[in-house]
Amino acid sequence: MEYPPSLVMRMLQTEDPTNFDKLLKSMSIWLCVSCEMCLTRCPMEIDIPTLMDYLRQKSIAAKKSNPSAYKIIAFHKSFLDSINYTGRLYEMGMVVDYKMRTGAMMQDVTVAPKMFVKGKLNPVPEFIKGRKKIATIFNRIQKNKEGKL
């Protein structure tokens, strides 16, 4: 990380647009895995993982994401698309979507058959009962992003 969580907080405190722009373009916001270690250690109990997620969303919306983060962003989108479609994570669908987004179709191709034989990859997605409620949440978020709520 070029900016550790403490420096991210300091950069935001300055309210300097240049610092905010640097954060949106940084890899630091994409390398945070939301382990919440910084939250547990923060004497002010600032929810830094939520703030990092906010910065990620702003970075995508402003089209300022660090080019090196494209695989992380592709995974993020594939994960959310899987949940939106089935109501839960559908691993095989997420992996195929991720491979299509990144162009890494041959990566892990030798591992997939072994996982399939062991029952680790289900070719048929499981759909939850309240799937329409999940879709409603996704639609509401999308409308909020577009400023319609």
On the question of pLDDT at 98 being above 50, the answer is yes
On the question of pLDDT at 146 being above 80, the answer is no
Q: What is the mean pLDDT of residues 97-124?
A: 89
The pLDDT value given to residue 70? 95
The pLDDT value given to residue 144? 76
User: In this structure, are residues 38 and 51 in contact, taking their beta carbons and an 8 Å threshold?
Assistant: no
Phi, psi of 52 (to 5 degrees): -65, -40
Number of H helices, E strands in the chain: 9, 0
On the question of pLDDT at 9 being above 60, the answer is yes
On the question of pLDDT at 148 being above 60, the answer is no
On the question of pLDDT at 90 being above 70, the answer is yes
- The pLDDT-based confidence of 19 (bands split at 50, 70, 90) is very high
**Prediction pTM value:** 0.78
The pLDDT value given to residue 149? 44
Q: What is the mean pLDDT of residues 56-70?
A: 94
Largest CA distance in the chain: 55
The pLDDT value given to residue 49? 93
The pLDDT value given to residue 147? 62
On the question of pLDDT at 107 being above 60, the answer is yes
As a whole number of angstroms, the distance between CA 101 and CA 88 comes to 20
User: In this structure, are residues 21 and 62 in contact, taking their beta carbons and an 8 Å threshold?
Assistant: no
Match 């179709």 to its residue by tokens.
Answer: 105
Length of the chain: 149
Q: Say what percent of the chain tops pLDDT 90.
A: 57
On the question of pLDDT at 130 being above 90, the answer is no
